[in-house]
Chains A and B, each alone.
Chain A
Amino acid sequence: MSSKAVVPVSAPLDWQYAPSRESTGIVALKERYGLFIDGKFRAPLSKKYFPTINPATEEELAEVPEAGAQDVNRAVVAARRAFDEDWGSLPGKERAKYLFRIARMVQERSRELAVLETMDGGKPIREARDVDLPLVAAHFFYYAGWADKLEYAFPGLHPEPLGVAGQVIPWNFPLMMLAWKLAPALAAGNTVVLKPAETTPLSALHFAELASEAGLPPGVVNIITGAGATGGALVAHPGVDKVAFTGSTSVGKLIRSQLAGSGKRLTLELGGKAAHVIFEDAPLDQAIEGVINGIFFNQGHVCCAGSRLFVQESIHDRFVDKLKRRLSTLRVGDPLDKNTDVGAINSAEQLARITELVEAGQLEGAEIYQPECVLPRNGFWFVPTLFTGVSQSHRIAQEEIFGPVLSIMSFRTPEEAVEKANNTPYGLSAGVWTQKGSRILWMADQLKAGVVWANTYNKFDPSSPFGGYKESGFGREGGRHGLLPYLKGIGL
């Protein structure tokens, strides 16, 4: 052995990532946007506008119109005319080519759209760039191919479009939700009036510009901005044949009651409180990454977030220790920084809701853990949070928090895990981690959830159906099944 001196290691190095900030120069924001109706951007008849802000800085980005009842009517009339005169009778292969073209144009402008998505919504640029935008393009590409193959999708069903679809989407994945809504609707031959969420309207309006550049006939896609009242007017409009909504269960129930007796077709993709079940034989390091991704992806603003963690008792303490260690390495802050793991909370309102539920968790006796974390001064932020000692009846085990907050519970047997996992009115998704294949499939059979991820989590693909059981909604988006809600069918 040589006797060379070893460099002594004293205190842990205190070092930071060099900031790697994505430039916003690629996005040309307008001061004020119009409603995209019948192929043109138009000032609202309501004459009302509201600001949209960057939740990471609270700076106003632009003003967008608040569509009133007259604007909604104008959009629906345009969509109806486009359906009757144009799109509804266009051969499938021509519809396909428009959608392929849109997919290509999204790919071409993906960087700009990713930056815009991050500015308006607060999500980390890494996610907007690597997850949202590729999936948006893929979704259009996938459904483009179905447009002229509908007769192969469902044996015995003569495929016919419904007419005008009214679609209302949430703020967590603004452009991706737009793609999930528009692509199957257009592929099936419907025309669309879509309302993006009031806190994230910009990417949809930039998409409208793109659709216009793609030469999409006027009226086929109409984008109207506004809040709940606008959405309510859209779904209630008698000229709308089909309503598709993604958002909270409470609003979903409101829409269901609004449509009662109208005969309109409806699909709902609502909230979730997904169980993430870790068995003692799971590959723990991979499971840790899966759990982290499951709850902190997009600040936990994910309807399928793995927000209830069930760890087998024998590994509970070890797993929680590992999880805490991993939590302390998450980088919270500027969403435009490519190093950022957890971005800004989407709005002050959502931050208040998360804060309220976390306080309830503490009051009800669960034990909170939050890593040390320096948050920016402006904007809306929440430190990644774990709760241990959670019981089934706690609000943080029952209610959807829609934020970076994980409730941890334990179980002894697989039957107990199933019992606890299914103990929720929701049923959107679930995760299972075990090395044993037969147990994965047994669990998948028992879990009342529309998507079950095994030894992975939060995986999405346009060819794979997504949607919930129970109060997480009905209907599926994605895959062959995602076409069915947009076609005339039997008893639907």
Chain B
Amino acid sequence: MTRLDVRKTYKLYINGEFPRSESGRSYPALDSHGGVVARVALASRKDLRDAVRAARMAVPLWAGKTGYNRGQILYRIAEMVEDRIETFADQLTLGGLTIARARSEVIRTIDRLVWYAGWCDKFSQVYGNLNPVAGPFFNISAPEPTGVVGVVAPAEPALLGLVSRLAPALAGGNTLVILASEPEPLPAITLAEVLETADVPGGVINILTGSPVELVPWLADHMDVNGLDATGAAEELRIRIDQGSVHNIKRVVAVDDPDTQSPFLIAAFTEVKTVWHPKGL
């Protein structure tokens, strides 16, 4: 007797929970041959607003953690991804990668997480400094998190691209609302399951699956989103993001190659704060 396999339901990841879309909608995730692999939630603008609210609520918790603590959690994410290399690799092959290339993408994802884990308690030592002002003052500048950051993940690489955009903003102390790759959403939801078991507090990272064309304008216009990584957004959406960013002067970042690692990307979603204090009796 053959056993009937139990299939996973792919849901959203908001505030540390896995709800379906409030709209009750879903869409088929296809493999590279056009076959239906699974149905995933098609997030609505209400889901997006819920995700932003969860991210906002999580800001004091995440930004308030020490860099050391954030580093430990990013490292823990890497440990948990390492534990699921085969699961991620299988999902990536559905998008057309060979198993060898899929595994290599997962391994590079893990190394990227470890790399950013190490930055958590170091980037302020590289981007902060004492300013030698001409007077009896102690004057120090240090970067602080920007707040809530939206991420439009690139369509591909579905996992490495997503993690490469997520990690620097997270390392810098921001909380995130992520729109996963529309054609390949499965690795993003599996990553959500990893995050949930990697000591990432609920609400710090929220992941939505759905249509960027539908959701990006709401993300771009949202007054409680402080920064936006537009790397994964198509040309016409980039313009829409720039327009939306005007309302609350969002910090918009986009890199040419989604597979880029740099401490400058951490700095991109930080605000430099300078403190003056007199010296004297």
Q: Interface on A for B, CB 8 Å cutoff?
A: 93, 96-97, 100, 138, 141-142, 144-149, 152-153, 414, 437-439, 441-442, 444-445, 461-463, 479-480
Q: Which residue of A lies closest to B117 (CB)?
A: A145
Residue pair A146, B68 in contact (C-beta under 8 Å) = no
Residue pair B281, A146 in contact (C-beta under 8 Å) = no
| A142 cross-chain contacts in B, Cβ below 8 A | 68, 121-122
| A145 cross-chain contacts in B, Cβ below 8 A | 71, 117-122
Assess whether B280 is interfacial by the CB under 8 Å rule. yes
Residue pair B119, A441 in contact (C-beta under 8 Å) = no
B106 CB to closest chain A CB, in angstroms?
16
Assess whether B7 is interfacial by the CB under 8 Å rule. no
Measured between alpha carbons, how far is A65 from B134 in the docked complex, in Å? 58
| B119 cross-chain contacts in A, Cβ below 8 A | 145, 149
Residue pair A438, B68 in contact (C-beta under 8 Å) = no
| B111 cross-chain contacts in A, Cβ below 8 A | 93
A483 CB to closest chain B CB, in angstroms?
11
Q: Which residue of B lies closest to A464 (CB)?
A: B125
Which residue of A148, A445, A463 is within 8 Å of B115 (Cβ)?
Answer: A148
Residue pair B278, A463 in contact (C-beta under 8 Å) = no
Q: Which residue of A lies closest to B263 (CB)?
A: A152
B228 CB to closest chain A CB, in angstroms?
26
Mark contacts of B97-118 with chain A using CB atoms, 8 A cut-off: 1 yes-contact digit, 0 otherwise: 0000000000000010011011
- Other 14 A-B pairs with CB < 8 A, given A149-B119, A441-B278: A141-B68, A141-B72, A149-B115, A152-B263, A438-B280, A438-B281, A441-B138, A441-B279, A442-B281, A462-B68, A463-B121, A463-B122, A463-B125, A480-B125
Q: What are 14 inter-chain pairs, A to B, with CB distance below 8 A?
A: A97-B114, A138-B68, A145-B118, A146-B122, A148-B115, A149-B115, A149-B118, A438-B278, A439-B280, A441-B279, A444-B279, A461-B68, A463-B125, A479-B125
A152-B263, A463-B67 are known contacts. Are A445 and B122 too (CB-CB below 8 A)?
no
| A463 cross-chain contacts in B, Cβ below 8 A | 67-68, 121-122, 125
Give the interface centre of A93, A146, A438 by most chain B CB atoms within 10 Å.
A438
| B117 cross-chain contacts in A, Cβ below 8 A | 100, 145
Residue pair B281, A439 in contact (C-beta under 8 Å) = yes
Q: Which residue of A lies closest to B119 (CB)?
A: A145
Residue pair A438, B122 in contact (C-beta under 8 Å) = no
Q: Which residue of A lies closest to B277 (CB)?
A: A437
A277 CB to closest chain B CB, in angstroms?
13
B276 CB to closest chain A CB, in angstroms?
11
Residue pair A148, B118 in contact (C-beta under 8 Å) = yes
Residue pair B122, A141 in contact (C-beta under 8 Å) = no
Assess whether B37 is interfacial by the CB under 8 Å rule. no
A309 CB to closest chain B CB, in angstroms?
21
Residue pair A93, B125 in contact (C-beta under 8 Å) = no
Assess whether B234 is interfacial by the CB under 8 Å rule. no
A438-B280, A438-B281 are known contacts. Are A96 and B122 too (CB-CB below 8 A)?
no
| A149 cross-chain contacts in B, Cβ below 8 A | 115, 118-119, 122, 263
Mark contacts of B114-151 with chain A using CB atoms, 8 A cut-off: 1 yes-contact digit, 0 otherwise: 11011111100110000000001010000000000000
Residue pair A144, B263 in contact (C-beta under 8 Å) = no
* Interface of B (DSSP majority class): helix
Residue pair B118, A96 in contact (C-beta under 8 Å) = yes
Measured between alpha carbons, how far is A152 from B266 in the docked complex, in Å? 13
| A152 cross-chain contacts in B, Cβ below 8 A | 126, 263
A377 CB to closest chain B CB, in angstroms?
43
Which residue of B75, B136, B138 is within 8 Å of A100 (Cβ)?
Answer: B75
Q: Which residue of B lies closest to A415 (CB)?
A: B281
A187 CB to closest chain B CB, in angstroms?
10
A141-B72, A414-B281 are known contacts. Are A146 and B118 too (CB-CB below 8 A)?
yes
| B75 cross-chain contacts in A, Cβ below 8 A | 100, 141
Measured between alpha carbons, how far is A480 from B115 in the docked complex, in Å? 16
| A462 cross-chain contacts in B, Cβ below 8 A | 68, 121
| A479 cross-chain contacts in B, Cβ below 8 A | 125
Measured between alpha carbons, how far is A207 from B150 in the docked complex, in Å? 44
| B263 cross-chain contacts in A, Cβ below 8 A | 149, 152
Q: Which residue of B lies closest to A436 (CB)?
A: B281
Measured between alpha carbons, how far is A97 from B75 in the docked complex, in Å? 10
Q: Which residue of A lies closest to B112 (CB)?
A: A93
Measured between alpha carbons, how far is A463 from B123 in the docked complex, in Å? 11
Measured between alpha carbons, how far is A438 from B136 in the docked complex, in Å? 9
Measured between alpha carbons, how far is A15 from B89 in the docked complex, in Å? 64
In chain B between 51 and 81, which residues have their CB closer than 8 angstroms to a CB of chain A? 67-68, 71-72, 75
A258 CB to closest chain B CB, in angstroms?
34
Residue pair B279, A442 in contact (C-beta under 8 Å) = yes
Q: Which residue of A lies closest to B122 (CB)?
A: A145
Which residue of B67, B114, B120, B279 is within 8 Å of A445 (Cβ)?
Answer: B279
Q: Which residue of A lies closest to B127 (CB)?
A: A152
B70 CB to closest chain A CB, in angstroms?
11
Mark contacts of B153-185 with chain A using CB atoms, 8 A cut-off: 1 yes-contact digit, 0 otherwise: 000000000000000000000000000000000
| A439 cross-chain contacts in B, Cβ below 8 A | 280-281
Q: Which residue of B lies closest to A463 (CB)?
A: B121
Measured between alpha carbons, how far is A444 from B278 in the docked complex, in Å? 12
| A438 cross-chain contacts in B, Cβ below 8 A | 277-281
Give the interface centre of A144, A145, A153 by most chain B CB atoms within 10 Å.
A145
Give the interface centre of B67, B117, B122, B126 by most chain A CB atoms within 10 Å.
B122
| B67 cross-chain contacts in A, Cβ below 8 A | 463
A256 CB to closest chain B CB, in angstroms?
30
Residue pair A442, B280 in contact (C-beta under 8 Å) = yes
Which residue of A93, A414, A444, A480 is within 8 Å of B122 (Cβ)?
Answer: A480
B199 CB to closest chain A CB, in angstroms?
13
7 residue pairs, one from A and one from B, having the closest CB atoms: A145-B118, A441-B279, A438-B278, A438-B280, A441-B138, A442-B279, A480-B125
| B118 cross-chain contacts in A, Cβ below 8 A | 96, 144-149
Measured between alpha carbons, how far is A261 from B28 in the docked complex, in Å? 74
A463-B121, A480-B125 are known contacts. Are A93 and B278 too (CB-CB below 8 A)?
no
Measured between alpha carbons, how far is A144 from B111 in the docked complex, in Å? 13
Measured between alpha carbons, how far is A142 from B121 in the docked complex, in Å? 7
Residue pair A100, B114 in contact (C-beta under 8 Å) = yes
B149 CB to closest chain A CB, in angstroms?
22
Give the interface centre of B114, B120, B136 by most chain A CB atoms within 10 Å.
B114
